[in-house]
Amino acid sequence: TVSVLYWRVSVRSEMACRLVNVHTYTARNSAGAAHLCCSYLPASIAVGLILGIILPYYHMFVFGTLAPAAFGLGAKKDEEVPVSLFWLVLASSVVCFTLLLTSYFRAVFTCPGYVDPATWRQRPEVVEDAPASYAQPAVARLTRTGELRYCSRCALYKPDDAHHCSDCGRCVAKMDHHCPWINNCVGRDNEKFFFLFILYVPVCAVHIDASIIAYYALSGASMGFRGHHIGNLMVALGAGTFGLVLGLFSLFHAHLIATSQTTLDHKFSTERQRHWALKLLTCNLPPPRVIAERFSLVLGPDWRLWFCPVATPAGPRQDQRWASV
């Protein structure tokens, strides 16, 4: 009785400490709803950081500095700028920030693609090449001892590119990693949105800094430590820092896509982990046609929709040279 009671307390304590999301957890009472809401605290912090750049940018620069200078609303004569600059900055910023926020929320609320238990509970067939579909249970990747990869927690066999996520408690198809900032796994069905999110952060940062620099270059105003000018300086520095960090991460993730890897593949390969930057700098990459094909597997077959945060038909699984684990 004591052991059973201890086991129940341990399980409940583990569940209370584990982060959950809307894809794997259903709140059945108020405590469960509070648990679900608290699990999205890191994601809320990420949204706060993003809005902490966007909102001051509009308040201090677009409507506090640029609009008065464009429409002559109290600005000095030598600090005025063309009205077209204001409309260009406003329109382009709305497009950039809409793409950024849409990509982020789609990465958060799109299911990463969990392995279907009905298909993968039956013993898969072992083949030489990586299978082209998840529909039929067939694998080319085995363990170091030559056995099938089996998940005892989910009670199913793992597809070649699937891994069990201890945070989600499910096996995720083409799992890249579990990101606490979106409270979700990055997998087969939401990798595009995650990549677009980390790509649009530096794009928006460049837009913010470029628009502020363009204003001061065209108006002749000096960026002093007064009024909106110091606010503009802080926004530019914050956006630049944020964009630099996420820009390096997006460059790394683009390298993973181009070389047909995931973050977990890279993590478990010491040689790749040490030399990926050197390979990227020396352009030791596949031919452009192969890179385009691999990007189409993540971003979709229609290149015109590559940079739009919309769902695209799933392509075949990537042809990878599986390493034994």
- What is 9-67 written as a DSSP string? HHHHHHHHHS---TTT----SHHHHHHHHHHTHHHHHHHHHHHHHHHHIIIIIIIIIIH
Amino acid at 73: L
**288 CB-contact burial (10 Å; exposed 0-12 / middle 13-18 / buried 19+):** exposed
Q: Are strands 177-179 and 170-172 parallel, antiparallel or unpaired?
A: unpaired
Give me the pLDDT at residue 74, please: 66
**269 three-class SS:** coil
Q: Are 119 and 157 in contact (CB under 8 A)?
A: no
Q: Are 117 and 129 in contact (CB under 8 A)?
A: no
Phi, psi of 300 (to 5 degrees): 110, 160
**What pTM was estimated for this model as a whole?**
0.86
Give me the pLDDT at residue 9, please: 36
Nearest 5°: the CA angle 210, 200, 263 is 135
Give me the pLDDT at residue 183, please: 93
DSSP labels, 175-216: --EEETTTTEEE-TTTHHHHHHHHHHHHHHHHHHHHHHHHHH
Query: Residue 240 belongs to what H/E stretch?
Result: helix 227-258
Tens of pLDDT, residues 128-179 = 776 666 666 888 888 888 889 999 999 999 988 899 998 888 999 999 999 9
Whole-angstrom Cα distance, residue 50 to residue 56? 10
Give me the pLDDT at residue 283, please: 56
Q: How far is CA 273 from the centre of its chain?
A: 20
- Per-residue DSSP letter, 225: S
Q: Residues near 277 by Cβ (< 8 Å), separated by ≥ 6? A: none
Give me the pLDDT at residue 261, please: 86
Other C-beta atoms closer than 10 Å to the C-beta of 317 total 18
Give me the pLDDT at residue 314, please: 55
Q: At what angle do helices 227-258 and 288-299 cross, to 10 degrees?
A: 110
**252 three-class SS:** helix
Is residue 179 annotated as part of the catalytic site, yes or no?
A: yes
Give me the pLDDT at residue 138, please: 84
Name the active-site residue from 179, 204, 283, 308.
179
Tokens of 249: 């991460």
Residues of the chain with pLDDT under 70: 1-17, 74-78, 130-136, 222-227, 269-284, 313-325
Whole-angstrom Cα distance, residue 279 to residue 255? 9
